[in-house]
Amino acid sequence: MSDAKAILKENLWSNNPIFMQVLGICSALAVTNLLVNTMIMTIGVVFVMAMTNLTVALIKGFMPRKVRMMVQTLIIAFYVIIVDLLLRAYLPDISRALGPYVGLIITNCIIMGRAEAFAQSNPPLISMWDGATSGFGYMAVLLTIAFFRELLGFGTLFGIQVLPDAFVPWTIMVTAPSAFFFLGIIIWIGKTIMNREGAAA
């Protein structure tokens, strides 16, 4: 079980897909202006990642090495289609707001990265855990960005008004640049703490 714990810590913090590896930010930043959208999107990513890692770990014995990239892409696409159909059926509004970004989970480099780096050489269950925890690490960073963007951009959290009416929303928080600024700041904080830890050890 200590293995599972080590993986959790590594994927949430010391090897966090976003601020340590700077991967998979393509499809991510666009959805962080509202917490609800971010939540749904990252739950989708966690699901796709866990299932992809599980599937890859299960069938790695039968997969010819030469075509494994293509096979992995198809596995990812398969799960993304499931997520997309579910969203369309049960949450049509959010599905419309997310637009093409659900489909873009396919090209999220983190998923392919974890499948390559972990699932190819580990048993199924622990691979699934690795996928899920990487997803959580991704979720944590995105929710942090979304929290500030929605709070300052709309004065709301999860659509509920929290700041008084006197607060003037910052228009820039709704537009693209703020996502980059927040991501930069989060990378900065993460790396600084990491450097301190490294220096102390």
Partner 1 sequence: MNAAPMLNPFALFFASIFTSNILLANFLGMCSFISISKDMKSSNGLGLAVTVVLTITTALNWVILNYVLIPLNVEYLRYIVFIIAIAAVVQMLEMIIDRVSTTLYMNLGIFLPLITVNCAILGVSLFMEIRNYTFLQSVIYGLGSGLGWWLAIMALSAIRKKTDKAPVPAGLKGPGITVITIGFMAMAFIGFSGMLAVQ
Contact (Cβ atoms closer than 8 angstroms) between residue 13 and residue 137: yes
Q: How far apart are CA 130 and CA 8, in angstroms?
A: 7
**132-191 residues near partner 1, rule: CB under 8 A:** 172, 175-181, 183-185, 187-191
List Cβ neighbours of 148 (8 Å cut-off, separation of 6 or more): 173, 182
Out of 13, 39, 107, 157, the only residue in the binding site for partner 1 (CB under 8 A) is 107
Cβ neighbours, 10 Å, residue 178: 21
112 belongs to the binding site for partner 1 (CB under 8 A): yes
Q: How far apart are CA 121 and CA 104, in angstroms?
A: 26
85 belongs to the binding site for partner 1 (CB under 8 A): yes
127 belongs to the binding site for partner 1 (CB under 8 A): no
Rounded to 5°, angle at Cα 58 from 124 and 84? 90
Compute φ and ψ for 162, nearest 5 degrees. -120, -30
* Residue with tokens 């959010």, as numbered in its chain: 94
Going along the chain, which residue ranges are E strands?
156-157, 160-161
Nearer to partner 1, 159 or 184 (CB): 184
In whole angstroms, the minimum distance from the beta carbon of 57 to partner 1 comes to 21
Nearer to partner 1, 161 or 195 (CB): 195
Out of 43, 74, 125, 162, the only residue in the binding site for partner 1 (CB under 8 A) is 74
Out of 39, 109, 140, 174, the only residue in the binding site for partner 1 (CB under 8 A) is 109
* Residue with tokens 């939540």, as numbered in its chain: 39
Q: How far apart are CA 126 and CA 133, in angstroms?
A: 10
91 belongs to the binding site for partner 1 (CB under 8 A): no
Nearer to partner 1, 103 or 124 (CB): 103
67 belongs to the binding site for partner 1 (CB under 8 A): no
192 belongs to the binding site for partner 1 (CB under 8 A): yes
Out of 13, 39, 78, 116, the only residue in the binding site for partner 1 (CB under 8 A) is 78
Rounded to 5°, angle at Cα 82 from 78 and 84? 110
In whole angstroms, the minimum distance from the beta carbon of 172 to partner 1 comes to 8
| Interface positions with partner 1 (CB under 8 A) | 22-30, 70, 73-74, 77-78, 80-81, 84-85, 96, 99-100, 103-104, 106-109, 112, 172, 175-181, 183-185, 187-195
